[in-house]
Amino acid sequence: MPKPARYIQLNQLRSASLSRPLDPANENPALAHSLYQKCSSVLSLAADDQNIYSGSQADDILVWDKATFTLKSTLQGHTGSVLALQYAPDRKWLFSASGDSSVRVWSTTTLTPLFRISPHLDSDSGDIFSLAWSPSLSTIYFGCQNTSLQWYAFSEDKGSIPCPPRQDPPFDTFCNNSGTATPRRAHKFFDSYPQYTRRAADLNARNSYRSSPSPPESSSPPTDGCLSPALSASMTAPAALDTPAKNMVWSAHYGYIYCMALSPSTYEGSDDKPASAKDEIRLVTGSGDSSVKLWSLPAGVPTLEHTFDCGSGAVLALTVRANTVYAGCQDGYVKVLDLETRTCVRTILVQEGVDVLSMSMLDSDLYTCSANGQIQRWSSSFDLSASWDGHSGIILSSLIVLSETPKDNADGASKPRAVLITGGNDDYIKLWDVEPPTARISDQTELDQVQQDPHNDTLLYALSKFISIPSISGHPRYKEDCRQAAIWLRKCLSQLGAESSLISTGEDNNPLVLATFHGAQTQTKIPRILFYGHYDVIDAHKSGWSSDPFQLLPLNGYLYGRGVTDNKGPIMAVACAAASLLRKRALDVDLVMLVEGEEESGSRGFSETVKKYKDQIGEIDAILVSNSTWISETTPCITYGLRGVIHCEVEISSSGSDLHSGVDGGDTMEPMMDMVKLLGSLTDSKKKVAIPGFYDAVRPLTSDERQLYTVLSGVTQTPASSLSAKWREPALTVHNVEVSGPKNSTVIPATIKARVSLRVVPDQDLDTIATNLQDYLKSEFETFRSPNSLHMSIKHIADWWLGKLDDPWFLALENAIRDEWGVEPLRIREGGSIPGIPYLEKEFSCHALHLPLGQSTDQAHLPNERISLANLQRGQAVLERFFTKVARGIVSEV
């Protein structure tokens, strides 16, 4: 048993919550500095340790000193607007893409040109809108106006060869009213007004619905209104590189490729782990055809994996965090796409009718920049945490930069700082001081350190992280938290040694986590056990709780928090049991973990998904569940039976509206009276269900069962008849009655709704019982001769389950409990229902086992839910014993 001091240490661990508490009193980020470039709009941004680079509509790249905020140099060479910039820190290169159909490469140390990359088909490729650099592949990818996706791969030696200096033709013109050095056509994207203004593209468009402010005198550029040639870097001719025809995907989209990004992400402000040699790098592209495409990059060559149809106009901006893609679209929508389950998990409406043109991420915070100059910040749970006016026109570009402020703390320590840089068509670059969200523990290193630390407990530590995510499946507000819980669990199981993945159960449902701990492979087939659990939980209103329900509280030998016993604690015990054996090279079974996120909400999409991915799950020899409690505090139990359930909604309504009892009372057939009589007819005075044939299929009580209930009665101090009534006999319950109208004592409600459930037992047939229930209600209602209407619907059904007490798998688990606890476990049944157990038995044609780890006072679904620390830890030990017994062939011997 751990010492109390260890509890305090655990309680002080950093929160793993994926959402920062939102404080409405928080101020919006402060404006740290503004940079003014008079000649043209700021179309693109990049930065390194020393400089900020801004791509202009006037063909140039302006270099700003990050320390002094002064214009340091101007990179010239493009003859079209600089539409995209990409910094490559591994090479100290700056890539620029332009409307002149070229990609240029600049040295950020000497500020001189290195290469000019021409796309295949040269100028026929049109404007180049987007760039993505992969350091591990040494490849630059770019998206073109002609809908092609192209790339150029640099060899290691080529990147180190300096370009021969040669003077370019002189630059006579630096800017003009149109913002270019050469004649140009109006650009369909960057020269257009915001969509909601409904104005056509204009060659001289300033892309603003109001005039730009005059800059302060101190920030005015030279009096000629243009950048001084003295500020320009010495231009040398870059080496010419041509994109081979094989390095192009024709018609990668059906529209311009406006944006692209890599996963794992490499931008500043990302909390993704740096990509390693074993990581799979993927490319994501967004287009004017309203789609986002996911490309794998075998040997650097894009291969289409999946297409997301965003359905919200052109995709104008992309950013990536882990396996989540954020796609900024026309008309103000951001689509949140999950790369693993290949689904759209959320749609954020930033501002209706206002295009989202740029996005940046700082850890889990998303910053959206819109065509009306507004900037919004969204938390990881998609709550709007800040909103402010950023520019007086369209915001065309944004970037997160990390740095350190001067050492102004009392202790001399430097303070971390993050800056959001935005550029607009008001000719301003603005720097905003932004605050990173609370860091969360989610990477491999920290969990590995926990496993290696002899003073730490992997089970306890992992559970504290798991509990902190409010994965409440019954409330739409927590939909993203449920997805993040699935992502966290997948990562955790991978870190513990499993091969894990997420499986979509439908656009509106939470994903499944599928993980396999592979045992040592031998010449003979090893057993395969499927563990079924759920990571979603019931809501936890803080009233009634003595602590934060989503912060694990170790106290007096118990762990408190929502989900500790139902079902996150048992999930982690099973996973840690397999991981412990795996580390000892003693895992000789395959443990397949199938963990759903909709169990508390009716297991939506579960059965259909299991059928679809049955081959991927593989052959199964036995099913293991741990989702209930003992019947006492001290004696371990093994569960061998569950009741099924049928939920039915009953509605009685009049043809009119709500009435006043003082005006109409006594002259109407009230729906409430009909409902009271109808519900009252369902049972007799002895609580027996009145539905004809309801008890016909119920199994009679055997002498062995009678003896078992007598023993259990002595343990629980509960009458045997009460245990039998709760576990093995069917029952009917009326859960609630709802009325229309204002619900005061003078109203006769026009509509009454009631929820009724039937608990069913072996060998009652669910379909037959459900039909008989509706037929009975209908026939009884007809005897009332009421003018009101009756409507019924079956909302949810779950089958009963009964295990086999003489099954060798059951006996092996029972032996493992006995060996660990030193006492004979009690064989018990439960009155509740777990739909997944009977379904999985039928689907995989094998028996299920149910090992409860909680105690009778664990308060599952109630305030102050808890689980005994000893039960959890010894439950892990029971599971290790069970896996070992099965692997040694004891199943075939018992």
Q: Give me the residue spans of the domains in the chain.
A: 30-183+235-434, 444-642+802-893, 644-695+730-798
Supply the pLDDT for residue 436. 84
Residue ranges of the chain with per-residue pLDDT less than 70: 1-26, 155-236, 269, 271, 273-279, 404-416, 438-456, 890-894
Which tokens in the block code for residue 78? 């493009």
Here the tokens at position 286 are: 């967004």
Q: What's residue 408's pLDDT? A: 46
Q: Which architecture does CATH list for 444-642+802-893? A: 3-Layer(aba) Sandwich (3.40)
* pLDDT recorded at residue 181: 36
Written as one letter, the residue type at 91 is R
Q: What is the pLDDT of residue 311?
A: 87
Of the CA atoms within 13 Å of residue 500, those in its CB half-sphere come to 23
Q: For the segment 3-51, what is each residue's pLDDT rounded down to a tens digit?
A: 333 333 333 333 333 333 344 435 789 998 999 987 789 999 999 999 9
Is the distance from CB of 729 to CB of 641 less than 8 angstroms? Answer: no
- State the virtual CA torsion across 735, 739, 742, 744 in degrees, nearest 10: -70
- pLDDT reported for residue 166: 40
**Do the domains 444-642+802-893 and 30-183+235-434 match in fold?**
no
DSSP track, 112-164: EEEEEEEPTTGGGG--EEEEEEETTTTEEEEEETTS-EEEEEPPTTGGGSPPP
Query: Cα 819 to the chain's mean position, in Å?
Result: 41
Integer-rounded Cα radius of gyration of the chain: 33
pLDDT score recorded for residue 322: 85
Q: What is the pLDDT of residue 508?
A: 87
Fold designation for 30-183+235-434 = Methylamine Dehydrogenase; Chain H (2.130.10)
Q: What is the pLDDT of residue 410?
A: 44
Average pLDDT, the chain: 85
Give yes or no for a contact between 570 and 853, defined as CB atoms under 8 angstroms apart.
Answer: yes
- pLDDT number for residue 673: 95
At residue 180, the pLDDT reads 35
| Sign of the CA dihedral running 339, 344, 346, 351 | positive
Three-class DSSP category at 233: coil
Class of domain 644-695+730-798: alpha beta
pLDDT at residue number 887:
87
pLDDT, residue 222, reads: 38
